Copies of this chain bind each other. A is one copy, B any other.
């Protein structure tokens, strides 16, 4: 079914957009399946979908567009068949220009809120590694289907980073408290079996199209619900989680930036980036 529809898409009905990048490339792509009404939102920033300011703005705009267009659901996936997302672009945090850092962090908060509170059912087809904010994107969705051979988790403590409260919330909305805390403190990256065992993911798929089909099936489980009642119920369920971020986004922003600007964090990040660089040269 999806296969034949892809064919149709090739004939012209594919809907793509990219907003917020100046180099003409599409950092995210949105395709709406005419038959199911489900939108697929594809992360498309080579090489590893690391989230810089431009990707975050583009992603947020795509999420909002999917809501406005009356899509019946949102499937988040990646055009890269090895990496779903590697997380934040650490260059945005390293010796940052303060104006850009503010814009960057505000974009991160806004995008996360859009995805976490999205009116439509959301599912992640995780077709590659989902690291740090890559994992946060996945856990902000209502359902997760993942391909074998990849890792998922938040490894912030390994490079001296203390995640802001909303990232902890991502974990706590999915995992039991003691597992969320332990994984966060260990900076643990879960194998697919481990992730399935603790319900960090819901299902395993044997390929990207299988993952998309499984996500679509989950979204189909809401077919008989009234969309506005569903959206309001979701918002109400998640209200307490996002209270801080909605009531005082600038305060939350300030706290995050203060930490990022500490010499302690900057020095740790420098060491970590140097290590990554020497590794990639090997």
Question: Using a CB–CB distance below 8 Å, which chain A residues touch chain B?
Answer: 121, 142-143, 156-163, 165, 168, 172-174, 176-178, 180-182, 184-187, 199, 221-222, 224-226, 228-230, 232-234, 236-238, 264, 268
Contacts and interface: CB of A to CB of B under 8 A. Distances in A.
Contact of A233 (B157, B228, B232, B264): B157
A157 B230 contact: yes
Nearest to A272: B226
A233 B184 contact: yes
Nearest to A223: B186
B142 A185 contact: yes
A173 B238 CA distance: 16
Q: Which 10 A/B pairs are nearest by Cβ-Cβ distance? A: A160-B226, A157-B225, A162-B232, A160-B229, A157-B229, A181-B237, A157-B230, A162-B233, A187-B225, A174-B178
Given A186-B221, A186-B222, A199-B178, A156 B268 contact: no
A229 B163 CA distance: 9
A105 to B, nearest CB: 17
Given A160-B226, A181-B238, A184-B237, 12 more contacts: A157-B226, A157-B233, A160-B228, A162-B229, A162-B232, A168-B236, A172-B177, A174-B178, A178-B199, A185-B233, A185-B237, A187-B224
Contacts of A232: 162
A25 to B, nearest CB: 34
A122 to B, nearest CB: 11
Contacts of A264: 228
22 contacts: A121-B185, A142-B182, A156-B229, A156-B233, A157-B225, A157-B230, A157-B233, A159-B229, A160-B226, A160-B228, A162-B229, A162-B232, A163-B236, A172-B177, A174-B178, A180-B237, A181-B234, A181-B237, A184-B233, A186-B225, A187-B224, A187-B225
